[in-house]
Structure formats: structure tokens, C-alpha cells
Amino acid sequence: MLQGLGSMPKVAVIMGSKSDYEHLVDGIKLLRDFGIETTVRVVSAHRTPSLMYEFARSAREEGYEVIIAAAGGAAHLPGMTASMTTLPVIGVPVPSRHLKGIDSLLSIVQMPSGVPVATVAIGNSVNAALLALRILSIRYREVEEKLAQYMKEQEQKVLAQRVE
């Protein structure tokens, strides 16, 4: 267990439909590799608005510290979730069939003033997980240490690359 203020950090990963999961699996794996308790759920802003409302309203009481919300198309899930909680929400735009995720990206990033949603690149759940880990590292020293190690490993991978 990570040593912070006495509890295991918790992140919720929610998505508009099960088909979004394939775009989230790498970020979920990274969070779990860091020892973060990660809950993964389908919570549709359009098809299950009452569930979304209840989830967002109770997320802090349930012990979550960050929410990663993925959605495609109109992509209302991250913004609607952010409008109902004081927790940080990180939006992952899901690639769509017709507009390749540009619609999702614009929907999430263009939130009105007063409803912030951190937004990562289209389909980039790894960056969403890393941003969540950086947020958690403020409170959890072990997360900070693991992040520093991860960054060092990324540096070493680049330095080991040879082009000739």
C-alpha cells in the first residue's frame, strides 16, 4: 500500500460505452502498475444520466481523488461529470468513426468558463493516467518517487535509440 495520509489512492475511470475501453486499457494498466486502486465503469451521460449524476455527486465520498472520463462524439461525459464534482476530471477524447476524434476533442476542451476539464490528446489514456499520477503525487510521496523513476526510464529509452 502506498503511504500518503493513511489510505490507498483511488482513481475512477469512466467511459460512455464499453467500446471506449480499448482506448483506455493502457492508461488503466499504468495506474494499476503504480499501485493505484482503479475503478472502471461505463457511465453514459446520454443513456444513463441519473447514474452519471449519482456517480459524480458521490465520487469524493467514495474516496476517489481523480476521475478520468472518456467519451466520443458529442463527448459530454467529462464536462457533465466535472460540473457535478469538485474533484479533478481528466477528459480523454475517444476516436470516432466519422471525424477521427476531432469532434470529441473539441467537445471536451471547449468547456465553458467555470467548468474545467483537463484534456489530453485523442485516445491518449496514458497521458491521462500520468496526469492523474502527478495530481496524486502531491499527496502520496511513493507516487512521486515512482513517477520520477518512470520519467528516468523514459529518458533511458530515448537515449538508447540509435539511428545508424
According to the annotation, is 134 in a ligand binding site? no
Q: Minimal CA–CA distance to 66: which of 31, 111, 101?
A: 31
Q: Annotated binding residue at 20?
A: yes
Q: Is 41 annotated as a binding residue?
A: no
Residues 117/78, Cβ–Cβ less than 8 Å:
yes
The grid coordinates of residue 17 equal 460505452
d(Cα 127, Cα 121) in Å, to the nearest integer? 8
91 to 57, 69, 75, 77: CA distances (angstroms): 17, 5, 9, 8
Contacts of 63 (CB under 8 A, 6+ apart): 7, 10
- How many Cβ atoms sit within 10 Å of the Cβ of residue 18? 8
Element (H, E) at 39: strand 37-42
φ/ψ of 92, rounded to 5, equals -115, 110
| Binding site listing for substrate | 17, 20, 47
| Binding site listing | 17, 20, 47
